Structure 1
């Protein structure tokens, strides 16, 4: 589990809505004394993520601020093509690539599948399938580290299919071990 949670808000201006979000966040945080809780105003949080991204383990915020922060964070790690997304509720969960459908490159075999693969890893973890999630994660990272089969957005020449085939073969090898 997480050891540190940061709640992002704009309670200094949006006193009713964001103020209530902050108040409830603080109340819930008291129920988890082993987890460090802090809060940041959205403006400052944007700057902090650029300057000190390693300081943040779990960010809790509203949909609008989360959308802004996720795009900013995506820029720190290589762009929207590598970022997974999850919407997790009490009774269901949806996992997706945050970049959308990219209709401008549909059917051209040049999309970076990393975001979808990483979304699948998150889903597997959510379902308790950690061995499979680890195998896929490790295969994906090995493919990045090797650098021979990267898609164009990552500086390579591999197609979606080529990249995916390399990752799948590495997953198979790990799962067979």
Structure 2
């Protein structure tokens, strides 16, 4: 997929050079350190999804390690409907903002052996006032910058009264600084039901790590699937752009049927972040023309177009009549 993105950047004369580094589940520690160093050098990255293995307890997943090493505390996914994709709910426009560094994802698990108990595993959920306040303030600042009117903090404070209770309390305190933005809390199980039944009630959502992962996937499903949603992991110094869900798509490798939309939109988001707004808009507008106007669909959307078909149509829709400055 990266090859397609590079071709598009070259075609629209985007002033971006690529440094490619390997990152996968099998990446060595030295290779992982090299990837971290590359992001620190460049301050920005476009990343494919890294596979997650289930058979190695105690191994820190590379996705998680990347986010914690670079303190990429905010994961932002924009769930926005495509007119050309037929779904139950139309015209959705929801932003999911996920705390990205703590919660259950700290991988603080251990097995306890007791004479009276056959097997016991403890898993620690870490919620801090500092990081909860930081993600809440990011969400409210995002809403203010983008003219959004409402923020929903998703939690399970009715059961996890201390951990999720702290997260909800921090969100509520921050909300008092933004009187023009409506604030509500919603329990995660009710939120999941409301999202699939009445999704238009949501505007911006802010969530702890695990709930954010789940709600993001539900949101992607509402507009057509994982192939349509881009995401970004943001910190104070660095930004890593990627597909919006953690689906790796192993089963699609080599078949020329993968939907390139998510990574193309992630590349557009990256260009916008770098201040290359005209270039970003050219890619985003072309993607939407292919899906909405041309009605071209890859198999994940119920169509039979190949990845090559999609990219050929995209290239013909890239509007390069405007001359871009490379200065």
Between stretches 72-81 and 118-127, larger displacement belongs to 118-127
Of residues 49, 54, 59, the one that matches 2:205 is 59
Is structure 2 residue 195 aligned with structure 1 residue 78? no
Bigger fraction of residues in strand: 2
Superimposed CA distance per residue, residues 15-40 of structure 1 (whole angstroms, 9 cap, x where no aligned partner): 11111000111111112222222111
Using a 3 Å threshold, how does the CA distance of structure 1 residues 176 and 155 change in structure 2: closer, same or farther?
farther
Distance (Å, rounded) in 2 between the aligned partners of 1:6 and 1:64: 16
Equivalent residue runs for 1:74-113 within 5 Å: 74-97=220-243, 98-113=245-260
Distance (Å, rounded) in 2 between the aligned partners of 1:172 and 1:87: 29
Using a 3 Å threshold, how does the CA distance of structure 1 residues 174 and 3 change in structure 2: closer, same or farther?
farther
Distance (Å, rounded) in 1 between the aligned partners of 2:236 and 2:176: 21
Distance (Å, rounded) in 2 between the aligned partners of 1:131 and 1:4: 29
Distance (Å, rounded) in 2 between the aligned partners of 1:131 and 1:38: 36
Using a 3 Å threshold, how does the CA distance of structure 1 residues 99 and 150 change in structure 2: closer, same or farther?
farther
Is structure 2 residue 312 aligned with structure 1 residue 165? yes
**In the alignment, which residue of structure 2 is the partner of 1:44?**
190
Between stretches 118-127 and 149-158, larger displacement belongs to 118-127
Query: How much does 1:73 deviate?
Result: 1.2
RMSD: 2.0
Secondary structure (helix, strand or coil) at the match of 1:95 reads: strand
**In the alignment, which residue of structure 1 is the partner of 2:262?**
115
Using a 3 Å threshold, how does the CA distance of structure 1 residues 63 and 145 change in structure 2: closer, same or farther?
same
Indicate if the aligned counterparts of 1:132 and 1:175 stay in contact, CA closer than 8 A: no
Q: Which has the larger radius of gyration?
A: 2
Name stretches of at least 5 consecutive residues in structure 1 with no aligned partner.
none
Distance (Å, rounded) in 2 between the aligned partners of 1:176 and 1:149: 28
Q: How many residues align?
A: 177
TM-score, with normalisation over the residues of structure 2?
0.50
Distance (Å, rounded) in 1 between the aligned partners of 2:299 and 2:265: 18
Of residues 167, 170, 192, the one that matches 1:21 is 167
Indicate if the aligned counterparts of 1:81 and 1:99 stay in contact, CA closer than 8 A: no
TM-score, with normalisation over the residues of structure 1?
0.89
Secondary structure (helix, strand or coil) at the match of 1:59 reads: strand
Of residues 266, 278, 303, the one that matches 1:131 is 278
Query: How much does 1:146 deviate?
Result: 3.0
